[in-house]
Amino acid sequence: MNDFTPSQLARMDTDRLATYRTNLDFYNGSQWQTTSRNRQLVFNYAKASIDKITSFLMQGLGFACYPGEETDELKARVRKAEQLLRQVYEQNNLQQLDWETEVDAAVLGDGCYKVIWDTDKKRIRITAPDVSGIFAWWLGDDTSRVWRVASRYTLTQDETQLLYPHYASRITKKTATITELWTAKDFQLYLDNDLIESKPNPYGFIPFIIFPNLREPKKFWGISDVPLLIQPQRELNRAMSQLSRILELSGNPIAVLENIGSAEDIKVQPGAVWTIPEDAKAYLLDLLQGGGIRLHIDYIDLIYRTLQDISETPRAAWGGTEKDISGTALNIELGSLVQKVTRKRTIRTNAYHQRNAMILRLAERYMQQNSTGISHRVIWGNILPQDIARQAQNEQLLVQAGVHSRRTAMDELGIQDPDEEFTRWLEERQKILEMNQEFKASSTRGGARARATAAEMEVPE
């Protein structure tokens, strides 16, 4: 890494960083190309669409671990691994962090996670660095083999002193640019352009997971959801602003005077009296005559339909349909939404799988938790609302037919700890069996006493 200097980053990926800023501004509502004194409305369908897709994407995210062999030792490791993943998930508030990262990835085009060991709190810490400060190097044409990652961020003087107190004497400015340079073997830390720390990588791997929103073939960096929506979104804003001005002028009509050289005190108000020559003509301009307003509304509906088609979020995804349709027809109508979410989940599955693998490796290194022989996978919930009773019936049939186990069925139904749940079920079943046996024994004893009493009460003839 001797050939690296932080000043190189200022000349790297300039187009990518400029695109990030453009997409983020558009998402936040800066959608008019030029400013005007006239009314410029913004109906931010781009933001609403991205938030909606993220809502469907993040439903029912979970994780499950499995033993490589059916031994008691491996089963115990699996339980500890699943408990660890849930603990890390809760400690880092990953439900909120994942949501924010997914929105960020959809807007910018890329997302990033950082998985490290917190030496102060003795726990695994997961953060989502600003991807505009992330730079990556990969080997040749294989974008999956990232061998070096640089993370750049800015700290105030107080923050720098808190995080790096050993170098407080070298801090002379109000802000400082920190650059972390990682490879699988080495770690270097730069304060502005000065190298202040260099040591072997304590983890043995690069603790960054960089993933695209949607993959562009043969490219490392991803594609944002924003560019496809820019043109129809701007046209919707323009058409709505134009219609708004027309309606405003119709509420404040324009007076039209013909054959009049000049006019004074011509006001449009109730009870107004105009004095004009005999051959002159005066009337109010009706901008809504001839059904012109309907043309504007039809055009806006067409733009709205275009936005729905391009964003792959049909009207039904927003909770409304033009007519009552069956469940099967509704699923067909939402097919484009399902396809888009499925494309994103394919990429996210690999990213979350890498994150879980890093968590287990850090736990093995710093918490002495053995995860050898354990496999793990990412579990997603249903994209569309489903009948939980029907899903439970399907899982019951699959278990009875031997297609998969009870544990897998519990994973698919979203039960966080299948082993613990199965143990509780066994305990309840055992208690029920014991209660039934006690009830039968009590009934038998009661019946015997009743027969003896009846025999004693019999009177001989």
CA distances from 142 to 199, 240, 284 (A): 28, 47, 70
Provide mean pLDDT across the span 190-198.
89
Q: Which residue has the tokens 């400015």?
A: 173
pTM of the prediction? 0.78
The residue that leads in pLDDT, 429 or 106, is: 106
- Check residue 251 and give its pLDDT: 56
pLDDT in tens, 250-304: 655 666 666 666 666 556 566 566 666 666 666 555 556 665 677 888 899 999 8
Q: H or E segment at 456?
A: helix 418-456
| Rounded Cα–Cα distance for residues 197 and 199 (Å) | 7
Nearest one of 286, 262, 282, 285 to 273, comparing CA atoms: 282
Provide mean pLDDT across the span 313-320.
79
pLDDT tier, 29 (very low <50, low <70, confident <90, very high otherwise): very high
Per the DSSP assignment, residues forming a β-bridge with 209 are: 113
User: Per-residue pLDDT for 320 more than 80?
Assistant: no
Helix, strand, coil % in the chain, rounded to nearest 5: 50, 20, 30
| Rounded Cα–Cα distance for residues 312 and 295 (Å) | 26
Is the CB of residue 269 less than 8 Å from the CB of residue 251? no
- Check residue 406 and give its pLDDT: 78
- Check residue 13 and give its pLDDT: 92
| Rounded Cα–Cα distance for residues 169 and 167 (Å) | 5
| Rounded Cα–Cα distance for residues 190 and 197 (Å) | 7
- Check residue 246 and give its pLDDT: 77
User: Per-residue pLDDT for 135 more than 80?
Assistant: yes
Is the CB of residue 232 less than 8 Å from the CB of residue 307? yes
The residue that leads in pLDDT, 213 or 166, is: 213
User: Per-residue pLDDT for 388 more than 70?
Assistant: no
Q: What is the mean pLDDT of the chain?
A: 84
Provide mean pLDDT across the span 215-239.
93
Provide mean pLDDT across the span 240-245.
87
Provide mean pLDDT across the span 295-317.
88
- Check residue 225 and give its pLDDT: 95
User: Per-residue pLDDT for 360 more than 90?
Assistant: yes
User: Per-residue pLDDT for 44 more than 60?
Assistant: yes
User: What is the share, in percent, of the chain residues with pLDDT greater than 90?
Assistant: 42
Write phi, then psi, for 419 (nearest 5 degrees).
-65, -45
- Check residue 425 and give its pLDDT: 78
Neighbour count for residue 349 (Cβ, 10 Å) = 15
User: 358 is written with which tokens?
Assistant: 């890093």
- Check residue 167 and give its pLDDT: 72
Report the range of poorest mean pLDDT among 200-204, 307-311, 404-408: 404-408
- Check residue 461 and give its pLDDT: 46
